[in-house]
Amino acid sequence: MGGSGSGRGYQGGKATTYDMRKLDVRRLQRDGLLQPGLAFGWQWTCNGEELASIQIRTEVDRVMLSYRSRNNGGEWQPMEYPVTLEWTPCHLGGRRAWFHCPARGCGQRVAILYGGTIFACRHCHKLSYPCQRETADDRAARRADTIRRRLSWEPGILNGEGGKPKGMHWRTFERLTAEHDAFVRVSLAGMAARLGLIERRLDGVGDALHPKS
């Protein structure tokens, strides 16, 4: 399977969850693929082209993963091992499935396993989330866009502002627009600093990113 993500940053130890191919037990459960006795293939694609695939066989309270893997262009090695499933009750009825990370010494209960030489949890692969690598101005732009979605404005801080959504209180609208404008100022200042247009100043960034209620 080309290592199922093993070549995209895993060896450097500083990859993010975005860099790795993931196997989500919630998706398997939603698609009805955790019933014992099933055998099927799982693929990762990009623009319709298959990038990697594995074979999955379901048993009682576990799945068997089967694929080929190689490290740093070495010989292909067959991989086959079980991943234990755990089921927990949901508040509104039914059950939710979890993986137990199969990495040696782990066993942590998780929803997602990330592909490398083996499929393992985020902590075993030493993965960070993409947002953990954001600069202050990147984070500000993302938070401004979150507010824009709530206000039903067009995404993108360089786009114009819209009006007050129907049914929203004016006080709420004014608070959100003030927070939005503060995030935009931080983001634009950071972009200008990266382009060398202004000297970077971080004064007030913390207040903008964490506005007082």
Is the residue at 5 inside a domain? no
pLDDT tens digits along 65-76: 999 887 767 788
Claim to verify: residue 22 and residue 95 sit in the same structural domain: yes
Question: pLDDT tens digits for 4-56?
Answer: 333 333 334 456 556 678 899 999 999 999 999 999 999 887 777 787 889 99
CB neighbour list of residue 150: distance below 8 Å, 6 or more residues apart: 176
Residue where one domain finishes, among candidates 105, 130, 155: 130
Domain co-membership, 117 together with 147: no
C-alpha distances (whole Å) from 152 to each of 108, 129, 145, 166 are: 39, 27, 10, 10
Based on the domain organization, do 123 and 151 belong to the same domain?
no
Q: Which residues contact 165 (CB under 8 A, 6 or more apart)?
A: 151, 152, 173
C-alpha torsion sign, points 14, 17, 21, 23: positive
Q: Which parts of the chain are beta strand (E)?
A: 22-24, 39-46, 49-59, 62-69, 77-89, 95-100, 109-110, 112-114
Q: Percent of the chain beyond pLDDT 90?
A: 44
**Least confident residue range of 1-10, 82-91, 153-162:** 1-10
Q: How many domains does the chain have?
A: 2
In a shared domain, residues 28 and 92: yes
| Statement to judge: residues 69 and 110 lie in one domain | yes
- Do 156 and 192 fall into the same domain? yes
Sign of CA dihedral 108, 111, 116, 122: negative
Asked if residue 37 belongs to a domain, the reply is: yes
Domain that holds residue 168: 134-209
Residue 2 in domain? no
Please tell me whether residues 191 and 94 are part of one structural domain: no
Q: In this structure, are 143 and 97 located in the same domain?
A: no
Q: Does 208 score more than 60 pLDDT?
A: no
Same domain, yes or no, for 17 and 34? Answer: yes
DSSP secondary structure letter of residue 54: E
Out of 95-109, 175-189, 193-207, which region has the weakest mean confidence (pLDDT)?
Answer: 193-207
* 120 and 154 part of one domain: no
| Mean pLDDT calculated for residue range 125-153 | 79
Q: Mean per-residue pLDDT for 128-148?
A: 76
> Does one domain contain both 140 and 121?
no
Does pLDDT of 171 surpass 90? yes
Give residue 31's pLDDT: 94
Asked if residue 186 is part of any domain, the answer here is yes
